[in-house]
Amino acid sequence: MPSIYEQIGGEKAVDLAVEEFYRRVLTDERIARFFDDIDMDKQMAKQKAFLTMVLGGSNQYTGLDMRKGHAHLLAQGLNDSHVDAVVENLGETLKSLNVPIELVNQVTALASSLRNDILSR
């Protein structure tokens, strides 16, 4: 079986998806504030590498693990509702790019499975 990374369309698809995903996140009033002081070019590069890795593409991710990468956001009130919103934005992004629904569901399930690390529990 080809990896999810290959099935959604490889590097081009991931690049497009990450750009569209953050466009949505930054205009989503439930979660935009967490990104106020973030360098979004760097963030997008990290997210592209991270998604590539977890979807079964190459492993070039050199960023923090999910627990360390989000620990400081707990002090800003990060909770389950914010994870839900991020997962929802990811799903809507992939649907808007015509990724088949079975694949969308696999990717959102994977993102959701990181919840306990992201919320340090």
Which residues here bind ligand HEM, judged by CB under 6 A?
Answer: 31, 34-35, 38, 43, 46-47, 50, 63-64, 69-70, 73, 78, 82-83, 86-87, 111, 114, 118
Cα gap 16→76, rounded to integer Å:
29
Distance of closest approach, residue 117 Cβ to ligand HEM, in angstroms: 9
Residue 86: which region, alpha, beta or left (left: phi > 0; alpha: psi -120 to 50)?
alpha
Q: Helix, strand, coil: what percent of the chain each, to 5?
A: 70, 0, 30
Distance of closest approach, residue 47 Cβ to ligand HEM, in angstroms: 5
Instruction: Please identify, using beta-carbon distances, which residue of 7 and 47 lies nearer to ligand HEM.
Output: 47
Do residues 77 and 1 make contact, with C-beta atoms less than 8 angstroms apart?
no
**CB closest to ligand HEM, residue no:** 63
Distance of closest approach, residue 5 Cβ to ligand HEM, in angstroms: 14
Instruction: Please identify, using beta-carbon distances, which residue of 97 and 117 lies nearer to ligand HEM.
Output: 117
Other beta carbons within 10 Å of 81 = 11
